[in-house]
Structure 1
Amino acid sequence: MIKMDKKRISAVVLAGGNSTRMGQNKALLELGSKTIIERVVEILKTTFEEIIIVTNTPKVYSMLKDVRFVPDCFESREKKSIIGLYTGIFEAENNYAFVVACDMPFLNTDLINYMIDNIGDEDILVPYINGYYQPLHAIYNKSCLRSIRTLIDSKNYKIIDLFDYFDNLKVKKINDEILDRLNITDSCFLNMNTYQEYINIKQYIGFL
């Protein structure tokens, strides 16, 4: 298998949600001296040359430098991750995009690099850990765009339906065994949807 050139993969951060359960923009919550999204971007910059932030409110992320802001391709009353997913892949300069959420402060560069090194002719490379897909920690090819658009047009906003219900898409899974072999815990997929989860994470990493 030919290893993928890292310069041929873009990074996409989805920062367009309403954070309804959190009650405020979770990307701007602080862990230590930095916001969560700053930590996410800082990690991504160690690997990717192009970093895209999908958001309709770029001004609130003015602290982020050397990134590209793009708005959602589709207008929708409901802020759905799948719309940001489509937008980020579509806007990426490269055929492949590593897509993550804006509230994942424990991204692991070893796992990211392993995924990059192991993408071949697949349309999607996605972790499947403890019986669950991690669709917002996955690599997507632009070949997925038509299938994603099909889901959006049918008002099916479940990204995981890409992995099992489209025979035309070749999906490769990263399983628990690989994480164990790399000595990586599943905390790299951790995100936060409520303020209590945010407090728990702050306590976990000693910022309180």
Structure 2
Amino acid sequence: MTVILLAGGRSKRMGEDKALMQWQGKPLLQVLVERFWAAGFSVLVSGGSADWSKRLTNMPVPVIPDLPAHENFGPLAGIEAGILNTRTKLVGVVACDLPFADPKLLSWLSEKIGDADAAIPTFDGEPQPLHAVYARTCLPKLSEQLESDDKSVKEFLKRLKVLYFPEGEWMHVADAKCLTVHLNEPADLAKASEITGEAQLMSVPVLAFVGFSGSGKTKVIEGLTKILTEKGYKVGVIKHHGHIDEEGKDTWRFQQVGAEIVGLVAESGMAIFLPERNLTAKSAIERLLRQRSVDLVLVEGFKSSELPKLVVLHPKGSEAETKRELDELLAQIPDKNTISGVISPVKLTTDLPQFHHSEIDKI
């Protein structure tokens, strides 16, 4: 089966080209191409009119323009052009504004289509024809409809032998968001980003390091980040701090007059200021994960959070001082079950795993 990604729309409501807007650090269309490639499908892109298709020349797969007679006829023209440029008996059709489009659902539909012209999932009783599977047998009826200047997908389906599958039959294969989350307006992109952040938050390992000032938390995280990075892991780091900007500085002034987001750019990189007060640890991690895909997140601070954490004690304390410091620190951690271990200069009487400050590689 070949997958046809429909990218011929003009994205007027979004205000920018949906196919090329950034999603998880890449153009959305490229993310979809790579996702379906990784699932073993041949992939091509339907780019709309010949002129409009030129914007997609950097895509790593063939970009097929509409037939001249059917330029700008919408999704049906893209499906027609795609089928004409494939040899497979089946094609999967996916609109490029579906950021959670799922190869597993297309595979499942391809197994169910039988001798029908199309296998289409439904959600809440509504057909979802732009995340569906079609047989080449539908091509004559498709071309016939376009020749009559009828662009309606709904009318096209009436010409076909279609098998419809309600969500109760396919949701064991794919999550509903693969059909329900469409990127039509900027607000949709924000919602999809939140969903992605929540999903990443559930799947990305997180470990916090808590302790009093001067205990060496930063040095431990610095050393651990270096070790993990050298092993090929992508590491994200968050530091909990009393203040994020200096009063009177330009970035502070922009926030004071109502800027929703402020960026500070220098040769060494870019910092983004989000004027959101009292963020929880999970909310902070979610916002971090919207910016980059990482393998794990290390957090400095957030003693009272529900994050798993290592307690870091001052590296030069005596045995008595270290025990006292541990007791004081434990009193500030509401849920003792979140403590995964202790970094201490001396051996303590505890069942928790213990590490010395010089044993970062053992954490």
Does residue 34 in structure 1 map to residue 22 in structure 2?
no
1:101–1:137 contact (8 Å) kept in structure 2 = yes
Aligned-pair CA distance for 1:48: 3.9
- Please say which structure displays the higher CA radius of gyration: 2
Provide closer, same or farther for how the CA distance between residues 80 and 109 of structure 1 changes in structure 2, counting only shifts above 3 A. closer
Provide closer, same or farther for how the CA distance between residues 118 and 202 of structure 1 changes in structure 2, counting only shifts above 3 A. same
2:11 to 8, 19, 37: 19
1:52–1:70 contact (8 Å) kept in structure 2 = yes
CA–CA distance in structure 1, aligned partners of residues 57 and 63 of structure 2: 10
| Secondary structure at 1:155 match in 2 | coil
Aligned-pair CA distance for 1:62: 4.1
CA–CA distance in structure 2, aligned partners of residues 149 and 173 of structure 1: 22
1:188 to 159, 178, 182: 178
| Secondary structure at 2:192 match in 1 | helix
1:109-158, CA deviations, whole angstroms, 9 ceiling, x for partnerless residues? 33222112223111111112211111111111121112112222222211
- Please name the residue that 2:323 is paired with: none
Larger RCO (alpha carbons 8 Å, 6+ apart): 1
Structure 2: segments with no counterpart, 5+ residues: 198-289, 292-363
2:77–2:146 contact (8 Å) kept in structure 1 = yes
The amino acid across from 1:191 in the alignment is H
1:200 to 161, 181, 191: 191
- Please name the residue that 1:64 is paired with: 59
1:58-89, CA deviations, whole angstroms, 9 ceiling, x for partnerless residues? 44334432x11211113457451111111111
Alignment RMSD (CA, Å): 2.0
TM-score scaled to structure 2, two decimals?
A: 0.50
CA–CA distance in structure 1, aligned partners of residues 72 and 41 of structure 2: 31
2:20–2:27 contact (8 Å) kept in structure 1 = yes
1:10–1:48 contact (8 Å) kept in structure 2 = no
1:133–1:160 contact (8 Å) kept in structure 2 = no
CA–CA distance in structure 2, aligned partners of residues 172 and 39 of structure 1: 29
Does residue 132 in structure 1 map to residue 163 in structure 2?
no
2:121–2:170 contact (8 Å) kept in structure 1 = no
| Secondary structure at 1:43 match in 2 | helix
2:120–2:128 contact (8 Å) kept in structure 1 = yes
- Please name the residue that 1:93 is paired with: 87
Provide closer, same or farther for how the CA distance between residues 154 and 112 of structure 1 changes in structure 2, counting only shifts above 3 A. same
CA–CA distance in structure 2, aligned partners of residues 141 and 117 of structure 1: 12
The amino acid across from 1:113 in the alignment is S
Larger deviation, residues 13-22 vs 54-63: 54-63
| Secondary structure at 1:160 match in 2 | helix
2:77 to 70, 78, 83: 83
CA–CA distance in structure 1, aligned partners of residues 26 and 112 of structure 2: 32
Provide closer, same or farther for how the CA distance between residues 141 and 12 of structure 1 changes in structure 2, counting only shifts above 3 A. same
Provide closer, same or farther for how the CA distance between residues 51 and 77 of structure 1 changes in structure 2, counting only shifts above 3 A. closer
TM-score scaled to structure 1, two decimals?
A: 0.84
1:46 to 29, 35, 38: 38
How many residues are treated as equivalent by the alignment?
195
1:175 to 166, 175, 195: 166
- Please name the residue that 1:3 is paired with: none
CA–CA distance in structure 2, aligned partners of residues 19 and 76 of structure 1: 19
CA–CA distance in structure 2, aligned partners of residues 68 and 76 of structure 1: 19
- Please name the residue that 2:142 is paired with: 148
- Please name the residue that 1:6 is paired with: none
Provide closer, same or farther for how the CA distance between residues 197 and 75 of structure 1 changes in structure 2, counting only shifts above 3 A. farther
Aligned-pair CA distance for 1:44: 0.8
CA–CA distance in structure 2, aligned partners of residues 100 and 119 of structure 1: 17
